[in-house]
Amino acid sequence: KHCFFSCRLTEPSGYLTDGPINYKYKTKCTWLIEGYPNAILRLRFNHFATECSWDHMYVYDGDSIYAPLIAVFSGLIVPEVRGNETVPEVVTTSGYALLHFFSDAAYNLTGFNIFYSINSCPNNCSEHGKCTTSVSVPSRVYCECDKYWKGEACDIPYCKANCGSPDHGYCDLTGEKLCVCNDSWQGPDCSLNVPSTESYWILPNVKPFSPSVGRASHKAVLHGKFMWVIGGYTFNYSSFQMVLNYNLESSIWNVVPVSKGPLQRYGHTLALYQEEIYMYGGKIEANNGNVTDELWIFNIHSQTWSARTPAVLVHGQQYAVEGHSAHIVELDSRDVVMIIIFGYSAIYGYTSIVQEYYIRSNSWLVPETKGAIVQGGYGHTSVYDELTKSIYVHGGYKALPGNKYGLVDDLYRYEVNTRTWTILKESGFARYLHSAVLINGAMLIFGGNTHNDTSLSNGAKCFSADFLAYDIACDEWKILPKPNLHRDVNRFGHTAVVSNGSMYIFGGFSSVLLNDILVYKPPNCEAFRDEELCKNARPGVRCLWNKKHCESWESGHANNILRAKCPKKTAAADDRCYRYADCASCTANTNGCQWCDDKKCISANSNCSMSVKNYTKCHVRNEQICNKLTSCKSCSLHLNCQWDQRQQECQALPAHLCGEGWSHIGDACLRINSSRESYDNAKLYCYNLSGNLASLTTSKEVEFVLDEIQKYTLQKISPWVGLRKINISYWGWDDMSPFTNTTLQWLPGEPNDSGFCAYLERAEVAGLKANPCTAMADGLVCEKPVGKPSLLLTPCTSSMYQCHNSCRCFSKLPGAVDSSLSHGLFRTIPQSPCYRRLVLTQNCSGLRTCGQCLEQPGCGWCNDPSNTGKGQCLEGSSRGPMKAVGMHTNEMVLDASLCPKEKNYEWSFIQCPACQCNGHSTCINSNVCDQCKNLTTGKQCETCMPGYYGDPTNGGQCTACTCSGHANICHMQTGKCFCTTKGIKGDQCQLCDSENRYLGNPLRGTCYYSLLIDYQFTFSLLQEDDRHHTAINFIANPEQVRK
């Protein structure tokens, strides 16, 4: 059946498709497949090609959208290698399946072709078995697999080449049906030596295999032989387990029962320290999906949770983020710190900040970083390398130049001890929500969402199985072969951990929530017997030759990088350096660039009269910081930046607003001088600079001054400020504003009686002290107004999310159209308010006609006994109306009393009743309105007769137009009259158009245009407003006598 509104399918098998050509823009259609209760219904997606992340097919296991959601298809999902094995199949067990397709207004693709069947064998046994009827349950069928094939669909091969028996191993035909290798052989078919110079992938036999384990955007850490999995997104949280662990040796899952602890969340981070797992941030599933700054610690030994509230240091704050990354490291200072990288904030947008949590002191710090000016984002990955003491950060969804947003292939290095950023070689393959691990000196990247198309499809997939390797020592990227397994393993939102040199990947999303484990075994350095082969053992592994044997990168010495054999690097061409817009990023990268003439980045090989090649010599400008900030709130945190509401971007305040030597802080210009002066001389100094001693009345000004005086390390700065004693009990600022003792406070014991002028004492706790005005103080703070007040910051507006009818969600934060409510999973897994508005329509009662009602997949129509088209739109399923179980739950149950069949009410879910006359007529020939009554007209009595207005749908009334006798008709919905005489206006034709020289009183007569004698006038009746005019009145007056 083609895509056309709603359709019911009752045949035991069939096809559904969008049609013979590309599906239309802004399409909505629904199919209900009806079997019988508890029947197994299979959906086979033979072809599927839609706009990734925006055009979706939702699949529910039931007869309504309130049934369990089991799959969401989007993007390009077509057979690749072995068509019969890789085409996805979705199974429902309720006997029903409801499919709802939605497309937006961007671009469209070829659509889909889906085959369904009831009580058939899975994947037709993949052509490796036969379909057999069950003896115990005659209505069920199952696959009898051929030899060397196993699995429910006979889709898993085993014991290839009989496991190399007898020399390499043997085939276990009666147990788990797999190869059991001899000690010196390994691999799925026992064909590789131990150790091996080759890599391979395997799918372990996981026990028990529970669908409820499936999740995405979770996090995992390794502790001993267990992989601990916490949190994540799932379609149904009712049976969701927050904490799980997986035994890597026995391949067994364990559910960890925890009675008290944090709410369900996803997009958070986990980091392990000793026996504790530290969880930070993420989006909480409850409470409308708030992004949190909660810090929780899970004790592995006691299996209990505890919350921590860190002390925030140095005028800073703790940012609530999601889609960030985190690592716990021990610094050279012996401090143990959890370092949080980037993330998305609901308030500040995409953050480029680093946050530090000091575990031993329970304190929180947002440090200043050095080096390149990097751009943070959401959904990147990072690894920590102990040898280089650095975190390597790749990919993510970010803000791009020109107020655009998208995926990136960036790679950054963050040196944890020096807090320095360096830009490394990019991968060439943009992605986010991928995984990354570090094995033998190589950063291995797997999977992710690679879709970056906007108005035209270039074939990028929502779900990827790409496998990339980055060589830390040589700053090189290589593409590794994709997993050669018996089925597709494309995914994003998964996790990866490393154990004994192997990578374990779990879960993720690929139209369905995944619960499988993938294992990658890289080459083993010990297998290389030759020095040259050892040194060239790449890609995906880095080995070192140590005298007579080959050893892994991790086991090598501290000077590994110096000993690494790398291809000689050449400086980049000018066009590669041009993209770096600031000196620090130009010089703190590995591309071989230089900052030339203080204005552009060029190749280090190019000629330059004034060159900077080390970031420490760079002067950071405000615009280089401001243009990296992606929201009004984050922009407002920086004193010399302003938010341009029209351009939706952060801009640097022009330097001339304050002048050389001044700093622009909020609404004022401030300047600090370190000279030793009396109060009067300090005031004269400021006066000569067109200013006054500073009135520090805002927290921004106070914060700036306190930070600046801390920078004077060689001399003590305790500057005069513009605060004086006005009378015996009143102190006031020079700008006449009162002193409130809030933003800046007196030190204990102050003010003393001897002082009438105030200065800022720099002590352990900075504060004010009183001093005689003739005394000397070390320094002064001047203030003057900003040069151009029109350029000052404007308050940031609310960042509440909005949804348009196309259901592309956006926030007033820039870029959130592609991210904030839609990052990552949300654009492909329905999770945002837009999803609930699109599919889980809760306001069915606001829809007045059956046609409008059934366009919404969550609504049904209760036709009243009159059978005239009058009725009520209600939430429901094909079996009847539904109601919520409680006030604070999305769970719905059937309630037949809302549309009682015994009282001749009729429930419709797929197709409206034939008679649709809105309660104003009965029908002849079942669907033709006989005679519209109640002042209505139209094919379905849906409009009011001429001369009347209102909304007659669903039994609504029509009211006569009230037009003061100057119109015969009015607007059918609003009742606004279409006046027939030009010059008369008003909703009820009650006014004369005096602005255009029409005089009179239409309530007692009419309106006239006043003419002068001996003048020629021209009147046009060609405007849209004139189409109802049939008359115009004039009144002539003699010309005024000249004085």
Residue 964 lies in a domain: no
* Residue 825 clears pLDDT 60, i.e. is over it: no
State how far the alpha carbon of 1005 is from the alpha carbons of 995, 996, 999, in Å.
Answer: 19, 18, 11
State how far the alpha carbon of 636 is from the alpha carbons of 314, 632, 964, in Å.
Answer: 18, 6, 56
pLDDT bucket at 83, cuts 50 / 70 / 90? very low
Give me the percent of the chain exceeding a pLDDT of 90: 56
Query: CATH no. for residue 372?
Result: 2.120.10.80
The string of pLDDT tens digits covering residues 552-605 is 887 765 455 556 678 888 888 888 898 898 899 999 999 899 998 878 899 999
Four-residue CA torsion sign, 169, 172, 177, 180: negative
Question: Residue 567: is it exposed, middle or buried by C-beta count within 10 angstroms (0-12/13-18/19+)?
Answer: exposed
Mean pLDDT of 115-120: 94
Task: Judge if 342 and 238 occupy the same domain.
Answer: yes
Four-residue CA torsion sign, 931, 933, 936, 941: negative
Residue 798 lies in a domain: no
Strand partners for 141: 133
* Residue 988 clears pLDDT 90, i.e. is over it: yes
Complete DSSP assignment for 888-931: T---EEE-GGGS-GGGT-EEESSS--S---TTS--EETTTEE--
The string of pLDDT tens digits covering residues 28-46 is 889 999 998 889 999 998 8
Distance separating alpha carbons of residues 131 and 121, to the nearest angstrom: 6
- Structure token pair of residue 183: 């000690």
Task: Judge if 590 and 499 occupy the same domain.
Answer: no
Give me the percent of the chain exceeding a pLDDT of 70: 88
Mean pLDDT of 995-999: 90
The closest of 715, 674, 665, 675 to 695, measured between CA atoms, is 665
Residue 961 lies in a domain: no
Distance separating alpha carbons of residues 491 and 513, to the nearest angstrom: 9
Question: Which residues contact residue 858 at a Cβ distance below 8 angstroms, ignoring those fewer than 6 apart?
Answer: 64, 65, 66, 839, 840, 841, 842, 844, 875, 876
Task: Judge if 341 and 247 occupy the same domain.
Answer: yes
**Could you tell me how many residues make up the chain?**
1043
Higher-scoring residue by pLDDT: 164, 113: 164
Higher-scoring residue by pLDDT: 650, 63: 63
Q: To the nearest 10°, report the CA torsion of 994, 1000, 1005, 1008.
A: -80
pLDDT bucket at 821, cuts 50 / 70 / 90? very low
Q: Which of 70, 99, 120 is the last residue of a domain?
A: 120
Task: Judge if 258 and 384 occupy the same domain.
Answer: yes
Distance separating alpha carbons of residues 101 and 31, to the nearest angstrom: 9
Task: Judge if 559 and 700 occupy the same domain.
Answer: no
* Residue 105 clears pLDDT 60, i.e. is over it: no
Which residue's structure tokens are 């203030």? 783
Task: Judge if 312 and 418 occupy the same domain.
Answer: yes
Answer left, alpha or beta for residue 155, where phi above 0 means left and psi between -120 and 50 means alpha.
alpha
**Which helix (H) or strand (E) element contains residue 863?**
strand 859-863
Cα–Cα–Cα angle for 576, 577, 580, nearest 5°?
Answer: 120
Task: Judge if 552 and 673 occupy the same domain.
Answer: no
- Structure token pair of residue 85: 């094995």
- Structure token pair of residue 650: 């952060």
* Residue 372 clears pLDDT 50, i.e. is over it: yes
3-state secondary structure of 576: helix
Residue 695, domain extent:
667-787
Question: Residue 50: is it exposed, middle or buried by C-beta count within 10 angstroms (0-12/13-18/19+)?
Answer: buried
Distance separating alpha carbons of residues 45 and 18, to the nearest angstrom: 13
Model pLDDT, residue 206 = 84
The number of helices, as runs of H, and strands, as runs of E, in the chain is 12, 86
Residue 69 lies in a domain: yes
Q: Which of 563, 584, 600 is the last residue of a domain?
A: 563
The string of pLDDT tens digits covering residues 313-368 is 866 789 999 999 999 999 999 999 999 999 999 888 899 999 999 999 999 999 98
The pTM score is 0.82
Residue 806 lies in a domain: no
pLDDT bucket at 820, cuts 50 / 70 / 90? very low
Task: Judge if 551 and 604 occupy the same domain.
Answer: no
Identify whether the C-beta of residue 355 lies closer than 8 Å to the C-beta of residue 318. Answer: yes
3-state secondary structure of 848: coil
Residue 802 lies in a domain: no
| Neighbour count for residue 170 (Cβ, 10 Å) | 16
* Residue 13 clears pLDDT 90, i.e. is over it: yes
Task: Judge if 247 and 391 occupy the same domain.
Answer: yes
* Residue 899 clears pLDDT 80, i.e. is over it: yes
Identify whether the C-beta of residue 860 lies closer than 8 Å to the C-beta of residue 898. Answer: no
Task: Judge if 385 and 520 occupy the same domain.
Answer: yes
The string of pLDDT tens digits covering residues 86-104 is 567 899 999 999 999 888 7
Question: Which residues contact residue 328 at a Cβ distance below 8 angstroms, ignoring those fewer than 6 apart?
Answer: 271, 272, 273, 278, 336, 337, 338, 339, 359
**Which helix (H) or strand (E) element contains residue 700?**
helix 699-710
Q: To the nearest 10°, report the CA torsion of 164, 167, 172, 177.
A: -30
Average pLDDT, the chain: 86
**Lowest mean pLDDT, pick from 194-203, 465-474, 713-722, 774-783:** 713-722
Higher-scoring residue by pLDDT: 615, 834: 615
Distance separating alpha carbons of residues 15 and 33, to the nearest angstrom: 11
| Neighbour count for residue 219 (Cβ, 10 Å) | 23
Query: CATH no. for residue 779?
Result: 3.10.100.10
| Neighbour count for residue 445 (Cβ, 10 Å) | 27
Distance separating alpha carbons of residues 579 and 93, to the nearest angstrom: 54
Residue 708 φ then ψ, to 5°: -70, -40
Identify whether the C-beta of residue 463 lies closer than 8 Å to the C-beta of residue 75. Answer: yes
Task: Judge if 851 and 742 occupy the same domain.
Answer: no
The string of pLDDT tens digits covering residues 399-448 is 876 667 889 999 999 999 999 999 999 999 999 999 999 998 899 999 99
* Residue 382 clears pLDDT 60, i.e. is over it: yes
Buried b / exposed e over 630-668, threshold 16 CB at 10 Å, is bbbbbbbebbbbbbeeeeebbbbbeeebbeeebbbbbeb
How many structural domains does the chain have?
Answer: 6
Model pLDDT, residue 885 = 85
Residue 530 lies in a domain: yes
Residue 781 lies in a domain: yes
Distance separating alpha carbons of residues 835 and 496, to the nearest angstrom: 29
Higher-scoring residue by pLDDT: 1018, 288: 1018
The string of pLDDT tens digits covering residues 500-545 is 999 999 999 998 999 999 999 999 999 999 988 998 887 888 888 8
Mean pLDDT of 203-214: 78
Model pLDDT, residue 562 = 52
Task: Judge if 521 and 545 occupy the same domain.
Answer: yes
**Lowest mean pLDDT, pick from 256-265, 414-423, 445-454, 464-473:** 445-454
